[in-house]
Amino acid sequence: MNKIKILFNLGETFFAFQPVFPQIALSGLRVPMTDYRTEAPQILRDFLSYHETIKAHSRRTVDEYFLDLRNFFRYLKRVRNPALADLDLDEIDIMDVDLEFVSSVTLTDIYGYMTYLTRDRAQHPNSRNSDYGLNAASRARKIATIRSFYNYLTNKMHLLRENPVKDIDSPKLRKTLPKYLTLDESMQLLNSVDGKHQERDYCILTLFLNCGLRISELVGLNLRDIQQDALRILGKGNKVRIIYLNDACQEALKAYLAVRRPISGRDADALFLSAQNERISRSTVHAMVKKRLAAAGLNASEYSSHKLRHTAATLMLQNGVDVRAVQEVLGHDHLNTTEIYTHIDNDALRVAARANPLSHVKGKRKSDS
C-alpha cells in the first residue's frame, strides 16, 4: 500500500496525514426527506439504484439526483398538459413517467427548463440572492444530473438510440478564488470559543482548520473512527482516507470526549452530538460556525464551514506542503480542484512579482521644455 505522510508546522500546530483506501461502510447518516424507492417511477428507480449500489454514491447525492429529475419531469408535464398549468410543481405526480415519456424529451425542452430555472424558479427561502432564478452553479448541477440520466439510458442500458442532451452546453460559471481565514484570523476564531458546548465547538473548529474536513465528513464521524492518533474519514463516493491528528486535534478531541455524555440508541456511536443528544446535523454545524465567527469579530456573512476547509488547504500550501499531498489530504479526485488554492497564496505572488528583473526599473520623469 502506498502511503503518504505529511508533516508541517502551522504556528504551534503540527499536521500529519496518511491516506489509505479500505472498504468501510459508515452508518448513522441522516435520513432523507424523500425516498426514491417509493416515490419515483420505475425508470428513475433503476437509474438511482444504479448510482447508489453500483457507483457507490452517497445517499445524499442520490437524493439530490432524484429531486433534480423529479423537478425536471414535473416541469415537462406541466408545460405539455394545459390542465396542469395552474398547479405548483410540488403538486404534480410523476409516477406515470416511463420510457416513452423520457424518450420524447428534446434539446428544446431542456433549454426551456433552463430558462425556467433562470427566471421563474423560486430560490430556497434561506438564499441571500433574489427571490427567483437559480444561479449558474445550481443550473449547471441540474444539467449534469439530466445528462447523467440520459447517458445511463443511452450508453449503459441501451434503451435510447439518441441522447437528447449530448450537445447541450452547461451554464458558464464565473471562476472565483476561495475565501479563507488568515492564520491570525484562525487563531482569533479558536481563542474566542467559550460558553455552552465550548469543548464540542472548539473540537469541531479545530478539525475543520487543521484537517480540511467536509461538513458531511465531520457530521458522519463515529467514535469508532478514532484510531489513537488518527481519524478514519468517509469522503465523497464512499472513499475512505486516514487523517493523522496533530497535537492540537488530539487535545481538542480529548477535552471534548471528557464531557461527551454516553447515549443509547441509533446515534450512540456518533462522535459529535447535538443538544438533544442526537448526531449533530449539518444545519447545526453551519449555525454554530456562523455564531462562533460573529463572536470572534469576523464577518460571518462571508465565511462558512466550507470556508474553513479552504483555510486549511491554503495554510497547508503556504507552509510548504506539496499540492499533490494536499490533494490527498482533502480527498480531491482531481488535482485541478486542489490547484485553485495555489493561486491564493499572496506571499508567493509577491515574491514572484519581485523576482522579475525589471521590478526595480523606474521610469525617468521627462522635464518640461
Q: 340 and 305: one domain?
A: yes
Boundary (domain end) residue, out of 156, 191, 206: 156
CA angle centred on 250, ends 186 and 240, rounded to 5°: 90
- Alpha-carbon torsion angle 9, 14, 20, 24, nearest 10: -140
Q: Which residue in 150, 161, 165, 163 sits closest to 47, CA to CA? A: 150
Which residues have a Cβ under 8 Å from the Cβ of 149 and sit 6 or more positions away?
Answer: 44, 47, 65, 69, 102
Q: What is the mean pLDDT of each run of 10 residues along the chain (369 residues)?
A: 38 37 35 75 95 86 93 95 92 95 93 87 47 73 92 94 83 69 92 95 94 91 93 85 89 96 94 95 95 93 87 82 75 69 61 70 62
Please check whether residue 326 lies inside any domain of the structure: yes
Q: 96 and 137: one domain?
A: yes
Burial class (CB in 10 A: 0-12, 13-18, 19+), 192: middle
Catalytic residue among 60, 147, 179, 236: 236
Catalytic residue among 141, 290, 306, 307: 306
pLDDT of residue 367: 59
Buried-state track 55-81, b at ≥16 Cβ within 10 A, e below 16: eebbeebbbbbbbbbbbbbbbbbbeee
Q: 144 and 250: one domain?
A: no
Domain holding 69, by residue range, is 41-156
Please check whether residue 33 lies inside any domain of the structure: no
Q: 318 and 181: one domain?
A: yes
Q: 136 and 193: one domain?
A: no
Q: Can you tell me which residue has the cell 468501510? A: 24
Please check whether residue 360 lies inside any domain of the structure: no
DSSP symbol at 340:
G
Q: What is the SS3 assignment for 364?
A: coil
* Single pTM value for the model: 0.63
Q: Can you tell me which residue has the cell 406541466? A: 78
Please check whether residue 67 lies inside any domain of the structure: yes
Which residues have a Cβ under 8 Å from the Cβ of 74 and sit 6 or more positions away?
Answer: 89, 90, 92, 94
Q: Which H or E element spans position 17?
A: strand 13-17
pLDDT of residue 332: 75
290 grid coordinates: 456562523
> What type of residue is 235?
G
Q: 138 and 213: one domain?
A: no
Q: 202 and 308: one domain?
A: yes
Sign of the four-CA dihedral 332, 337, 339, 340: negative
233 grid coordinates: 474519514
Boundary (domain end) residue, out of 127, 156, 185: 156
Q: 95 and 151: one domain?
A: yes
Please check whether residue 330 lies inside any domain of the structure: yes
Residue 259's alpha-carbon distances to 191, 291, 297, 347, in angstroms, are 19, 21, 27, 41
332 among known catalytic residues:
yes
Residue 150's alpha-carbon distances to 44, 165, 169, in angstroms, are 11, 7, 15
Please check whether residue 88 lies inside any domain of the structure: yes
Boundary (domain end) residue, out of 99, 126, 156: 156
| Number of other residues whose CB lies within 10 A of the CB of residue 242 | 17
310 among known catalytic residues:
no
Q: 131 and 208: one domain?
A: no
Q: 14 and 56: one domain?
A: no
For the sheet with 226-227, list strands across it: 226-227, 230-234, 240-244
DSSP string, 247-286: HHHHHHHHHHHHHPPP--STTTTBSSB-TTSSBPPHHHHH
pLDDT of residue 260: 96
Q: 222 and 181: one domain?
A: yes
286 among known catalytic residues:
no
- Distance between CA atoms of 295 and 194, rounded to whole angstroms? 10
50 among known catalytic residues:
no
Catalytic residue among 214, 239, 282, 290: 214
pLDDT of residue 1: 36
Q: Can you tell me which residue has the cell 495554510? A: 315
341 among known catalytic residues:
yes
CATH number at residue 266: 1.10.443.10
pLDDT of residue 94: 96
360 among known catalytic residues:
no
Catalytic residue among 139, 241, 309, 310: 309
pLDDT tens-place string over residues 125-145:
444 444 456 777 888 889 999
Q: Domains in the chain: how many in total?
A: 2
Please check whether residue 198 lies inside any domain of the structure: yes
Q: Which residue in 127, 328, 302, 296 sits closest to 205, CA to CA? A: 296
Q: Which residue in 175, 180, 127 sits closest to 303, CA to CA? A: 180
Please check whether residue 368 lies inside any domain of the structure: no
Q: 237 and 321: one domain?
A: yes
306 grid coordinates: 466550507
